[in-house]
Structure 1
Amino acid sequence: MTSNNFPTENRSYDLVVVGAGPGGFDAAVEAAEEGIKVALVEKELLGGTCLNVGCIPTKLYLGATSPVEELAAQTKARIAKGEIEIDFKALCTKKDRFIGATRKAMAQKAKKLGIDLYPATAKVIGKGKVEVSHPEETAVLEYKDLILATGSHPTVFPGLEPDNETILDNSGFLALTEMPGSLLVIGAGFIGLEMAQIAHRTGTKITVVDALDRIAVYEDPEVSKTLQGVFKRHKWNIKLGVKVKSVTAENGKAVLRTEDGEELIADKALIAVGRRPNSKDLGLEILGAETAGPGFVKVNENLEAADNVYAIGDLNGKVLLAHAASHQAGYVVRRISGKTDGPYEHGPIPSILYGSPETMRVGVMPADLEGKGEVKVSSFALVANPIAQAYAATQGFVKVVWLDGKVAGITAVGHHVSGFTTAAAMIVQENWTEKDIHKVVFPHPSLDEALLGALKAEKKDPK
């Protein structure tokens, strides 16, 4: 979105959408397809964080570098030998071209559907009115309904401010034209672990630091243990339970100091300690909307922050995932177009960590079900799966969580386990029982059979 000229003088709309990430763009498109007159406001780039400096470029990097892990696995199995050299500059070029082409396609689709695009900052100035501002132009858009999908930004704590030269956030990391010789990763969540794997595959020495007692702390403890074992075999230095006092750039290096006085030095540091909503300066207070915590916009059961004003995606803090934002967008458009009048509901929302190994989870973990009924687990080790054996990637397992005889959650860690995420989501959504296992024919040989094996395995009490 580079044009400085606003698209039209007729600035009265059925729907104004602020934010063109996955939630906002999908909302605008689905509304336009319903014949609703739509304005889409985005102050930066179409696609938001996910497309430009988040999930999409990260997965492009992980996909391109995956042969490094595959060769390493077969080499360890004494099946193959050699080396793979990643042309990182070529990969950067591919990434930039793909993202640029995707943004272009999004703009073309919006134009075809008659969506007015405003490259501007938006602020609510009254009921039914949004001011959109660009350095060269300002206008007021009138709306019947307003969707706020402004997303989130990296969390910054005092002493951990990125400069995106030596101390990086996700944007700075993905803007690198070459990987550093060594990298300090502060934060052992999904963002930090995925980016650490990218750097590792290009030969970077990795140190991961987190204040908590395990990596991927929001996943099953067995998943954390498996991941940590794999990364330690990669010779990562993983330091847990460490409170970071500061990270500074000194003499061209990143210097991390802990509260205990320890000092760690690397070529670069990546700050990946969470995200915060982009709710500042939206003007919602004029409508009586409220925020909670670090600025998440409070919404009712219909995702409304105020009358005819909806907050979706990262902004409302329910689930900070792109597919959750898109799902919420679809609901709001159906509500606006009169196709539903019930409260927002969603099924189990999948969570995936990409890389090698991958993790996948749909539904609950055993710890979530304490005191709620009879809880059992059944599991299957990937070492017994022929596809995992074929790829010499046998670390990991599939675990099924049962509540009163019905599937309440499925967790997996290992080779390409993201491939059966949708099947797992359907199984959890439908609350399968033992009898339902026989409704579907699982292909053989396939990685999916590990999921079947976990469903059929003996049920035991959780550890």
Structure 2
Amino acid sequence: MTYDVVILGAGPGGSRAALEAAAAGLRVAIVDKGSFGGTCLNWGCIPTKLLLGGTAAHPLLEVQKKLKTAQGTIDFDLTALQARKTRFINGTRQALEKQLRQAGIEVITGTARLAGPGHVEVVDGEGTRELAARNVIVATGSVPASFPGLAPDGEAVLDSTALLDVTEVPDSLIIVGGGAIGLEMGDFFSRLGTAITIVEGLDRLAPTEDPEIGQTLGKLLKREGWAIHTGRRVASLSTVEGKAQLRFEDGTELVADKALMAVGRRPATAGLGLETAGATLLGAGWVETNDHLLAAPGLYAIGDVNGRTLLAHAADHQARFVISHIASGSASSASGYPAPVMPSCIYGHTEVMRAGATVAELVASGHDVHVSTSQLIANPIAQAYGTTGGFIRVLWVEGQVRGISAVGHGVSHLVTLATVIVSQRWRWEDVHGIIFAHPTLDEALEAALLAPSQKV
């Protein structure tokens, strides 16, 4: 039997591709090692949000204590939080597998590799079998990255997967990497009483964002008691006498109960045999794709593995495009992947949100950029919660909105509206076309849109 589509990986991209393909009447098989839902469900987006959501009351109550409107303490049960997380993930994983099967998709639990164009070998509990496919979609995601001499050792130095499953709250935690993973994990453990030290080799936290975002984020987290080291290079990180010991290149050291390596992710492409099907791998194993997300004739790569955007919703969007391309029988000359405005967030008590380009990206493209800003301290909802640190900024090119970013409490809730605004390239007069409800945090976005702009 020849399948119309065989999908490797049942994460957000692979699962979406399978369901879309089945709905289009295609014969589909999906192969996964068993962790249906991928990194996002099992070790990433969802477990971190469950832990952050379960402890969200703590920083808000701490704010009220500082305002002298409340007093007392709140104690969290890490064992209970972990149990709730496990129940939710297991239930969701089972529901996804059931949904795939009910859609008429052949679901195969095993390890897959390509044995040539259109041929997939699967090793499962019963041995090895071969699947023939007109199209193969690689959606195997990514795994935590590390640097030589800084690899997690499973003792005091952990990756994000291992840290998510700890059963005892560490008194102190060193985090290497100031991106989304490190910031969110630091926020959670800080709520449990862990002393947080974060180390970032570049000059600011959230280094993929505009400098003002990262600098403001650093100031706000310092107020919450974090020790922050930016612009410092790490020489080594290892377990010494049961503790995590970090040594900077200048010879100074930090010691903590645990350390988290959060320096990004690398593609999960090792051992897949992609070259046998004509694919080209770049750098750490990223799959090179063309405008149609094709790595070779009949071989697509979506989500983290192609390195375009390492976000679950990016994988989902790419999956829809690929199945549409397959189902329509489009030739390679058809319209390519549209690369839409991509929203992103860093979650926690202090959040970061962006839709569209950064200043650096726009300037590098030769644009004259103007910026308008509103401060959260002027917003009634931010004032009500006592969380007034941060701002929203809008990037304008030739009178059109090309990027919106924000830092502060609750700003992730603005990301979809911001994405719509950037996608539609609003002009100043478009702001008056809708009513922003009062009182809401959305009004801070309105204020940023209407504020006078200045050239960068």
TM range (shorter): over 0.9
Distance 2:361 2:151 in 1: 35
Shift of 1:206: 0.8
SS in 2 for 1:126: coil
* Match among 346, 350, 363 for residue 343 of structure 2: 350
Q: Does 1:334 align with 2:327?
A: no
Confirm or deny that 1:369 pairs with 2:362. Answer: yes
In the other structure, the counterpart of 1:290 is: 280
Q: Following superposition, which runs of at least 4 residues in structure 1 exceed 3 angstroms of deviation?
A: none
Q: Would you say 1:426 and 2:416 are equivalent positions?
A: no
CA distance in 1, matches of 2:381, 2:112: 51
Match of 1:440 among 428, 434, 440: 434
Alpha-carbon separation, structure 1, partners of 2:63 and 2:420: 32
Q: Distance in 1 between matches of 2:442 and 2:231?
A: 36
Q: Distance in 2 between matches of 1:61 and 1:34?
A: 37
Residue 394 in 1 paired to residue 388 in 2? yes
Q: For residue 339 of structure 1, report the CA deviation from its aligned partner.
A: 7.8
Q: Distance in 2 between matches of 1:44 and 1:294?
A: 24
Q: CA deviation at 1:246?
A: 1.4
Which among 23, 37, 49 is matched to residue 39 of structure 2? 49
Counterpart Cα distance in 2 of 1:288 and 1:27: 22
Match of 2:117 in 1: 127
8 A contact 2:117–2:298 mirrored in 1: no
Shift of 1:134: 2.4
> Is 449-458 or 209-218 further displaced after alignment?
209-218
- The answer to whether the 8 A contact 1:164-1:173 is kept is no
CA contact (8 A) 2:153 2:238 kept: no
Structural mapping, 1:44-443, within 5 Å: 44-338=34-328, 341-370=334-363, 372-443=366-437
Q: TM-score, normalised by structure 1?
A: 0.95
Alpha-carbon deviation of 1:428? Answer: 0.2
Whole-Å separation in 2 of the counterparts to 1:339 and 1:440: 41
CA distance in 2, matches of 1:86, 1:222: 34
Counterpart contact for 2:368–2:455, Cα < 8 Å: no
Take 1:99 and 1:206, find their aligned partners in 2: how far apart are those partners? 27
Name the CA shift for 1:64/1:441 in 2 (closer, same or farther; >3 Å).
same
Greater mean deviation of Cα atoms: 29-38 or 139-148: 29-38
Distance 1:215 1:275 in 2: 17
CA distance in 1, matches of 2:366, 2:358: 12
Q: Which amino acid aligns with 1:204?
A: T
Please say which of residues 363-372 and 117-126 is displaced more in the overlay: 363-372
- Compared CA separation, residues 339 and 442, structure 1 to 2 (3 A): farther
The CA distance in 2 between the partners of 1:211 and 1:383, in whole Å, is 31
Cα separation, 1, equivalents of 2:272 and 2:278: 12
Tell me which residue corresponds to 1:6. Answer: none
The count of aligned residue pairs is 452
Tell me, in whole angstroms, the C-alpha distance in 2 between the residues paired with 1:254 and 1:134. Answer: 38
Looking at structure 2, the residues matched to 309 and 359 of structure 1 have their Cα atoms a distance apart, in angstroms, of 35
Instruction: Work out whether 1:34 is the aligned partner of 2:24.
Output: yes
Cα RMSD of the aligned pairs, angstroms, is 1.2
Q: CA deviation at 1:369?
A: 2.0
AA matched with 2:28: V
Indicate conservation of the 8 Å contact 2:180/2:206, yes or no.
Answer: yes
| 1:350-402 C-alpha deviation (Å, 9 max, x unpaired) | 11000011110011122222263332111110101001111110001110000
Measured in 2, the distance between the counterparts of 1:111 and 1:297 equals: 29
The 2-side partners of 1:199 and 1:192 are apart by 11
Between 333-342 and 186-195, the greater mean CA deviation after superposition: 333-342
Instruction: Please say if residues 165 and 172 of structure 1, whose CA atoms lie closer than 8 Å, have aligned partners that are also in contact.
Output: no
Identity fraction in percent:
49
- Following superposition, the deviation at residue 438 of structure 1 comes to 1.2
- Letter in structure 1 aligned against 2:409: H
TM-score, normalized by length of structure 2? 0.97
- Determine the C-alpha separation between the residues in 2 that align with 1:220 and 1:242: 19
Partner of 2:449: 455
Q: In the aligned structure 1, how far is the partner of 2:248 from the partner of 2:370?
A: 41
Contact 1:383 1:395 in 2 (8 A): yes
2:115 partner SS: strand
Q: For 2:99 and 2:361, how far apart are their aligned partners in 1?
A: 42
Where structure 2 has 5 or more consecutive residues not aligned to the other structure, the ranges are: none
Provide the rounded CA distance (Å) in 2 between the counterparts of 1:94 and 1:339. Answer: 45
After TM superposition, the structure 1 stretch with the greater mean CA deviation from structure 2, 275-284 or 378-387, is 275-284
Within 2, Cα distance between the matches of 1:175 and 1:162? 15
Output one character per residue of 1:114-154: Cα deviation in whole Å (capped at 9) or x when no partner: 11111111111122110011254210001011100011111
Q: SS of the counterpart of 2:56?
A: helix
CA contact 2:155–2:242 (8 Å) conserved in 1? no
Question: Which of 337-346 and 439-448 deviates more?
Answer: 337-346
CA distance in 2, matches of 1:107, 1:365: 38
